[in-house]
Amino acid sequence: MSTAERYAEFGISEKVQKTGEEILSGLSACFDTIDRNAEDNQLRVIRAMQDAHVGEASLLGTTGYGYDDIGREGLEKTYAHYFRTEDALVRPQITCGTHALALALMSNLRPGDELLSASGRPYDTLEEVIGIRPSRGSLAEYGIAYRQADLSPDGSMSFENIRNAMTPKTKIVEIQRSRGYLSRPSFSVKEIGETIAFVRSLRPDVTVMVDNCYGEFTETAEPSEVGADMIVGSLIKNPGGGLAPTGGYIAGTKECVENAACRLTSPGLGKEVGATLGILPQLFEGFFLAPVATASALKGAVFAAAMYERLGFEVFPASTSERHDITQAITFRLPELEVAFCQGIQSASPVDSFVTPQPDDMPGYDSKVVMAAGAFVSGSTLELSADGPLREPYTVYFQGGLTWPHAKLGVLKSVQNLLDHAYIKL
Ligand SMILES: *Cc1c(COP(=O)(O)O)cnc(C)c1O
């Protein structure tokens, strides 16, 4: 059976296949750059594991208190080597990205300190961590104030707004690399470095934290190489490589990481406790696979952007934009198209392909939400996934794809589904 016949088995018409191939022929230079970055990052990951002296015994894991867990120590050394930081905290006890960010902030701020966001409005879930939306246990409840430097009209970080928002009490400056659900560009490591240099010119002693979620491995440098004191992310996104079943990380200076460890476990215990149970093989192997998995997701995002540009939809970022995270927004203007897109993505999944996503209410959202996620790890967004609120302008956020062929199939299925409903013409 030919590959074309296999696609036909998935219901993908010759026309959709042909359009896909035409689009792809224009993306070879872009894909080549993505592959070269992945090659560089793969070498760096292997180097980091070798330098951390990862051995077969590192994969065993511990139970109970988790004292002397050489695997855990090797994993944290691996992250520290890769990110070029003094230390790292990489734990299954960190439940998600929001938890990792909350931990980094709560452990490195004290009552009376101020937190300053240099990249405008932070990711939605941080609003409750900070107390922008009143919430139990927020930083605000502990007497930690928040200030925000809004972005410039073109979406870049505004040095003037940062200078105006900085006070003698500013203790942490936060920069978010990915754009989350906002329509602003993601920030390159270079731009982040320039902002950090500016912040230090005002206040050399301030701590800079980067929300690195969705950004890891998308470039050949990380924010910790351009002056960030700590970078924070989730293992069910890029650095987990699709294999990590749970976890989060904080990589940075000894001081920042020790503060976080003493808050995660307990003062006096710090990094010394925390059983890894049986999941070290997945955490190591996931990190090993992460550069190529991230590259696959990037290719999927570029392919989706180019495909939906061709079909006349607004996409963000554009297919030709430089990318510093793995997310892709597509605006459909009509709810039924948004839903049909997600149903197409779902139908390409290895898991739950027989499920038809329907819009529904979600805690924390003021409109119905539709999601496609046929993932091995529940909620993993390095795996092929899409979601969006059912409200104007009906924008769907698409990301992930552990392998490029799967991402390609997902995009083709989404187009086919729109075509089958006569929502688009080819
Ligand atoms: C996903 C994400 C978070 C939160 O991570 P969760 O694992 O969903 O809690 C924070 N910031 C950014 C930029 C993200 O993309």
Predicted confidence at residue 199, as pLDDT, reads: 98
Cα dihedral value 400, 401, 402, 404, nearest 10 = -130
Indicate the helix (H) or strand (E) that contains 171: strand 170-176
**Region 49-65: what's the mean pLDDT?**
97
Predicted confidence at residue 181, as pLDDT, reads: 78
Locate tokens 């930690």: which residue?
A: 144
Q: Is the pLDDT of residue 232 over 70?
A: yes
**Region 21-41: what's the mean pLDDT?**
98
Least confident of 56-70, 133-147, 176-190: 176-190
Cα–ligand 1 centroid distance for 213 (angstroms): 6
Does 399 sit in the ligand 1 pocket, CB within 6 Å? no
Does 397 sit in the ligand 1 pocket, CB within 6 Å? no
- Whole-model pTM: value is 0.97
pLDDT digits (tens, 9 = 90+) for 382-423: 999 999 999 999 999 999 999 999 999 999 999 999 999 999
Does 123 sit in the ligand 1 pocket, CB within 6 Å? yes
The protein residue with its alpha carbon nearest to ligand 1, atom 12, reads 213
φ/ψ of 211, rounded to 5, equals -75, 105
Predicted confidence at residue 153, as pLDDT, reads: 95
Locate tokens 């952007």: which residue?
A: 305
**Region 259-279: what's the mean pLDDT?**
98
Output b/e per residue, 47-74; b: 16+ Cβ within 10 A. Answer: ebbeebebeeebbebbeeebeebbbbeb
**Region 56-62: what's the mean pLDDT?**
96
**Region 260-270: what's the mean pLDDT?**
98
Kindly list the domain boundaries of the chain, sorted by start residue: 3-42+288-420, 61-278
Ligand 1 pocket: which of 125, 326, 397 to mutate (most atoms within 8 A of CB): 125
Least confident of 53-57, 130-134, 362-366: 362-366
Q: Is the pLDDT of residue 183 over 80?
A: no
- Nearest CA among 310, 300, 314 for reference residue 395: 314
CA distance 25 to 184: 28
Query: Are 71 and 60 a contacting pair, CB within 8 Å?
Result: yes
Query: Are 225 and 188 a contacting pair, CB within 8 Å?
Result: no
CB atoms near residue 221 (< 10 Å): 16
φ/ψ of 397, rounded to 5, equals -105, 120
Locate tokens 């230079």: which residue?
A: 29
CA distance 294 to 407: 11
Q: Is the pLDDT of residue 182 over 90?
A: no
Q: Can the peptide bond before residue 393 be classed as cis, meaning omega within 30 degrees of 0? A: yes
**Region 197-208: what's the mean pLDDT?**
97
Does 385 sit in the ligand 1 pocket, CB within 6 Å? no
Helices H / strands E in the chain, number of each? 12, 12
Reported confidence tier of residue 367, pLDDT bands at 50, 70, 90: confident
Specify the amino acid at residue 33.
T
Predicted confidence at residue 365, as pLDDT, reads: 72
Q: Is the pLDDT of residue 366 over 80?
A: no
The protein residue with its alpha carbon nearest to ligand 1, atom 6, reads 97
The CATH code of the domain at 3-42+288-420 is: 3.90.1150.60
**Region 83-88: what's the mean pLDDT?**
98
**Region 305-314: what's the mean pLDDT?**
98
Cα–ligand 1 centroid distance for 96 (angstroms): 8
Q: Can the peptide bond before residue 317 be classed as cis, meaning omega within 30 degrees of 0? A: yes
Answer whether CATH 3.40.640.10 is correct for domain 61-278: yes
Cα–ligand 1 centroid distance for 175 (angstroms): 13
φ/ψ of 119, rounded to 5, equals -115, 35
Query: Are 168 and 175 a contacting pair, CB within 8 Å?
Result: no
Reported confidence tier of residue 364, pLDDT bands at 50, 70, 90: low
CA distance 234 to 249: 6
DSSP 338: H
Cα–ligand 1 centroid distance for 123 (angstroms): 7
CA distance 32 to 4: 24
Ligand 1 pocket: which of 95, 105, 123 to mutate (most atoms within 8 A of CB): 123
Locate tokens 């009509």: which residue?
A: 334
**Region 128-140: what's the mean pLDDT?**
96
Ligand 1 pocket: which of 231, 237, 385 to mutate (most atoms within 8 A of CB): 237
